[in-house]
Chain A
Amino acid sequence: MESFVNAIVSGLISGSLYAVMALGLTIIYGISRVFNFGHGVVALIGAYIAWAILQNLVFSTATYIVGIVVSMVFLSGFGYLLYLLTIGPLLRKPGWEISTVLFMLGLGIMLENIILQIFGPRIKSLPIFVSDHFRLFGVRVNWHDLVILVLVILIVIALNYFFKATKTGQAMRAVSQSVEGANVVGININWIFGLTFGLAFAVTGFSGVMLGTKYYLDPHIGWDWMVIGFVIVCFGGLGSVSGAILAALILGIIEALSIVYFGSVWVWPIWFVIFVIILLVRPQGILGGRS
């Protein structure tokens, strides 16, 4: 029984991590209809930048925060420029659905390889925020996991506020609901798309840092994270933020349970079967409107 409850708790934690990771994907797709096949690499870059900064500075909470902030700022600029210089032009040509995907795949692999060159193949890890654990109703909970959960909740609240109450956030929401309508009211679509990529990359980078503290870090793990993000986003409904969060939690729990009862080698086949079932039964996801 204890292992079951532990699995649930552990699943909730990993689920919340996956949720933040899937957020970036959802934001980009919801607003620009581009499916970011370089998502994993973005999270990876976020994690590695933070790691690199920590290596070179005296470790403390302050430097950790500096590392994370630098990583997010860098990625937002990178996302914005990447859109302006490459994705934007591709979107204006026919066949953009395929070309953007293949482009991001190629770019992702290229960047992953460059990370390999710079940082080497050996596994690294990001130090956890807080050590030690406590017991809640007989279940062991790590302080670090709690911090992660709190951070995730904060991010979701912040994003929610951004989209509801700021002019730019509202414009992004408008674009996601009707690009033509946005054009008609004078919104600069290109600029909004650029900002979208910048924002999404920053959020994704942050999720990469958090994932890097909980799991290990090597240049190839971006793929696993990315595919998990894909399944979550489809399960939650393409373009739905709340759907993605809900889906992430559910799938996180399912994954944790499978590891406990079946062993980790079954994880991938189970993800795949889940994916197929979703597509067969409810392709628009649990909360999505589009399919």
Chain B
Amino acid sequence: MLDVKGVDSYYANLHVLEQISFNVEKGEKVALFGPNGHGKSTLLKTICGLHPAKRGSVIFEGQDITSSPAHKIVEMGIAYIPEERYLFTDMTVYENLLMGAYTPKAKGKFQENLSYVYEIFPRLKERKNQITSTLSGGESRMVAVARGLMSEPTLLLVDEPSIGLSPSMRKVVFQSLESVNREKNITILIVEQEIRDALKLSERIYMLKKGQIIFERTAEEADVKEIEKAYF
């Protein structure tokens, strides 16, 4: 479904991603691990068009999206859930979700997706008229995921969803990702620093270090110790 080949990415003169190649099959749950600052976020941003790739290609469902603008990529079915969340801070939860269904494709499924999202995140339904800047960290993370789901995606790029969350919140978020994949067959590519929860969720993992993919494992083969060692 998603094919990344030989991607090189820079921030000014800093070579952040080197010849990244990997793939994600439809319906899969894949995790990307790596220490902070080694390019995980940049990789997701490059895939969804928020950051340019100097070299290489990104192919989604057979189409080359390497130089497509971000809003077109959303229309094609990729939703990026940023670590920073980037919520519309002066809008309510409901309004954020409404904006999430901006593309025509998503607009058509608005009510359906809204009920689904309220089902997996009952907390959000309670707070639907609350301004998002007043939400807690976990709640705003939920809004970010929910908003992404409102765009009718077939692929979710989730950037460090567990950062700053309490263990119970983390559980809710990961469970929601699990449900979404199971019930709607949405493919998930998750980038995480925190190993255990993401490992439990995924079927395959990659390890990103210093801008390069240094190994790939299936979830059964993957050994927490090996991954932790690779961080240093």
Contact surface of A with B, Cβ cutoff 8 Å: 167, 170-171, 173-174, 177-178, 180-190
Contact = CB atoms under 8 A, between A and B. Distances in A.
B99 A185 contact: yes
A184 B103 contact: no
Contacts of B102: 167, 171, 185-187
25 contacts: A167-B102, A170-B98, A171-B99, A171-B102, A173-B91, A174-B88, A174-B99, A177-B88, A178-B88, A180-B86, A181-B86, A181-B87, A183-B50, A183-B70, A184-B48, A184-B80, A184-B86, A185-B150, A185-B151, A186-B71, A186-B75, A186-B151, A187-B99, A188-B71, A189-B70
Contacts of B84: 180
A64 to B, nearest CB: 38
Contacts of A170: 95, 98-99
A187 B87 CA distance: 14
B111 interface: no
A178 B151 CA distance: 17
Among all A-B residue pairs, the 5 with the closest Cβ atoms: A186-B74, A181-B86, A180-B86, A177-B88, A186-B103
Given A173-B91, A181-B87, A184-B48, 17 more contacts: A170-B99, A173-B90, A174-B88, A174-B99, A177-B89, A177-B90, A181-B88, A183-B71, A184-B50, A184-B86, A185-B99, A185-B150, A186-B74, A186-B151, A187-B99, A188-B71, A189-B71
Nearest to A171: B102
Contacts of A171: 99, 102
Interface of B: 48, 50, 69-71, 74-75, 79-82, 84-91, 95, 98-100, 102-103, 106, 147-148, 150-151
A164 to B, nearest CB: 10
A184 B90 CA distance: 17
B98 to A, nearest CB: 8
B86 A188 contact: no
B82 A184 contact: yes
A186 B150 CA distance: 11
A195 to B, nearest CB: 14
A178 B140 CA distance: 14
Nearest to A183: B70
Contacts of B88: 173-174, 177-178, 181
A148 B40 CA distance: 56
A116 B81 CA distance: 53
A177 B131 CA distance: 12
B89 A184 contact: no
Given A171-B102, A183-B70, A186-B102, A178 B75 contact: no
A176 to B, nearest CB: 9
